[in-house]
Chains A and B, each alone.
Chain A
Amino acid sequence: MSNNKGSAYGQAASDTDFRKTYDLDEYAAKAKEREAAEKEERKARWEAKMAGKKYYKPLDGSETLTTARNATQDFSRMVGTSTLVPAGAGVGKRGRGAGFYCEACDLTFKDNLQWIEHTNSMQHQRSIGQTGEVRKATAADVHARIVALWERQQEREREQVVSLKERLEVRAEEEEKEREEKRKKRKEAEERRRLEKETALKVKTEYGEDVRVEGEHDEDDMMAAMGFTGFGTTTKK
């Protein structure tokens, strides 16, 4: 649209006068159009009221189709710190308040049920620019969806197997560590016992050596080495 009228910030050109008239004409035409539309809407509203129906603004073609929710609503994201709503709070209180707030419609609801009912309403569908209509699926669409869901499920199961395997591996590792720890302790205990024994033995041997005072038997030893035994008077203890 702005292409036809030129840029609002553009340089003044020689055809300004022409554009002015053009704009004026267009403006008049638009005003007329709008008036007609408003009249049409009043009429439609009136007719809807007479028929006991609710009036919704007619679609202008810019709307998108309604689609199914992707997953379960995550309300934890929407709810503020306070979910307490004063008793008797009406359905769809205007403005932001405590509870479940709809940004598009600027309404607050006291619980998730009311909120979800609201998001399903035509009023809400219109304010988010959706038609309230859903495209039909073909058999081919259904087939493709089944394939996709099956693959997703297989993938999940594989992941589960992997995580199970991982868990088992971690556990095996832990068990191995535990066994290692026990082995170490056992070895240490054995070593300690061995050392104790050794020390005890050493004490004994040392005690034996102690008895044999150095130098005392040197003569005997020499004699023995030379072949003489039992010759002297000294006896070995």
Chain B
Amino acid sequence: MKKSEFHRADEKRFLDERGSSGSLAPNGLNPATIMEKAVRERIVDCYFYKEQCFGVNEADIVDRVVEHVDFIGGVYGTVQKPTPFICLAFKLLQLAPSDAILDEYLRFGGEKFKYLRVLTAFYIRLTRQDKDVYQWLEPLLEDKRKLKRKGRAGTTLTYVDVFIDDLLTKDRVCATSLWKMRKRDILEDLEMLEPRVSPLGNIEDLLEEEEDDEVKKEGGDDSDGSVRSKTPDSGLDSNHDKIDVDGMGESRSSRSRSRSRSRSRSRSP
């Protein structure tokens, strides 16, 4: 069957096709129901969506992101207003862009426009198979650019890599429940994924080095700085410590927990 060359300008048919003739996302979910009903309703009722998401195609999405997205989030404020970010994510669910287009968004466009990158990463997390999610998203853990986030609690500061880590490890991000992916090591066991090679070097070596340092530290070496400087992402941690001091973003404990989780994950054979 020849694929249509057109999109409907609005979302009515997309939502009407719920669970029927509408095509499913690569991860088997129905794109029309991936976001929760309450959020969906807020989106299609809001002015931004009606004005800026009508008649938009895959290229126009980039215009909208560049012009209107300067923070991430699901709903914000006391009235739980949907963010332009979540509205455009909903539009992506309707447009169902191809992998080739996602690649343009994520890499070529993402280098230039960080919010285009994170929006695409979010969409990929919602619609792609788990092995593909890991492969698309993990390289973005090197992106340390700052992001603004708005939620019910107000505005906070975060980073691209932290948001990507959230997408890989959390079960709820931007007012949206994330479907449960298999753990990375399971996919490695199934030979669906190659073990992750950190751009900083062999992760096993780095971990051993870190352990040695820790042993040394316990053995009386109290120069904290030298230990930290040898950890693979010490620059990162010290960077993020700053936000925590400000009381913004996620607490450090939760972040380092998820980081260590991903470490132990890649450590198992």
Contact status of A139 and B103, CB under 8 A, knowing A134-B55, A134-B56, A145-B63: yes
Contact status of A69 and B55, CB under 8 A, knowing A133-B7, A153-B66: yes
Min CB–CB distance B82 → chain A (angstroms): 15
Do the beta carbons of B57 and A120 come within 8 Å of each other?
no
Which residue from B6, B54, B67 sits with its C-beta under 8 Å from A136? Answer: B6
Docked complex Cα distance between A139 and B98 (Å) = 8
A132 within 8 A of B: yes
Q: Identify which of residues 223-239 in chain B touch chain A, using a CB-to-CB cut-off of 8 Å.
A: none
A135 within 8 A of B: yes
Task: Report the count of interface residues on B (CB-CB < 8 A).
Answer: 33
Docked complex Cα distance between A146 and B101 (Å) = 11
Bits for B1-44, please: 1 = Cβ < 8 Å to A, else 0. 00011111110000000000000000000000000000000000
Bits for B56-69, please: 1 = Cβ < 8 Å to A, else 0. 11111011001100
Do the beta carbons of A139 and B100 come within 8 Å of each other?
yes
A125 within 8 A of B: yes
- Of the listed stretches A60-68, A98-106, A194-202, chain B binds A60-68
Which residue from A69, A120, A125, A141 sits with its C-beta under 8 Å from B59? Answer: A141
Min CB–CB distance B139 → chain A (angstroms): 18
Do the beta carbons of A132 and B60 come within 8 Å of each other?
no
In the bound complex, residues from chain B placing their C-beta under 8 Å from that of A143 are 104, 108
A149 within 8 A of B: yes
A170 within 8 A of B: no
Do the beta carbons of A142 and B109 come within 8 Å of each other?
yes
In the bound complex, residues from chain B placing their C-beta under 8 Å from that of A144 are 59
Which residue from A69, A73, A119, A146 sits with its C-beta under 8 Å from B112? Answer: A146
Do the beta carbons of B62 and A134 come within 8 Å of each other?
no
A56 within 8 A of B: no
Do the beta carbons of B50 and A146 come within 8 Å of each other?
no
In the bound complex, residues from chain B placing their C-beta under 8 Å from that of A135 are 5-7, 57
Q: Which residue of A lies closest to B5 (CB)?
A: A136
Q: Identify which of residues 58-99 in chain A touch chain B, using a CB-to-CB cut-off of 8 Å.
A: 65-69, 71-73
A46 within 8 A of B: no
Q: Which residue of B lies closest to A145 (CB)?
A: B59
Do the beta carbons of A142 and B105 come within 8 Å of each other?
yes
Bits for A102-122, please: 1 = Cβ < 8 Å to B, else 0. 000000000011001101100
In the bound complex, residues from chain B placing their C-beta under 8 Å from that of A69 are 51-52, 54-55
A-B contact pairs, 17 of them (CB 8 A): A66-B9, A67-B55, A72-B51, A73-B51, A113-B50, A116-B51, A120-B50, A133-B7, A134-B9, A134-B56, A135-B5, A135-B7, A136-B7, A137-B60, A138-B101, A139-B98, A141-B59
Q: A66-B9, A120-B9, A145-B63 are known; give 6 further A-B pairs, CB within 8 A.
A: A65-B6, A135-B57, A139-B98, A139-B103, A142-B104, A149-B113
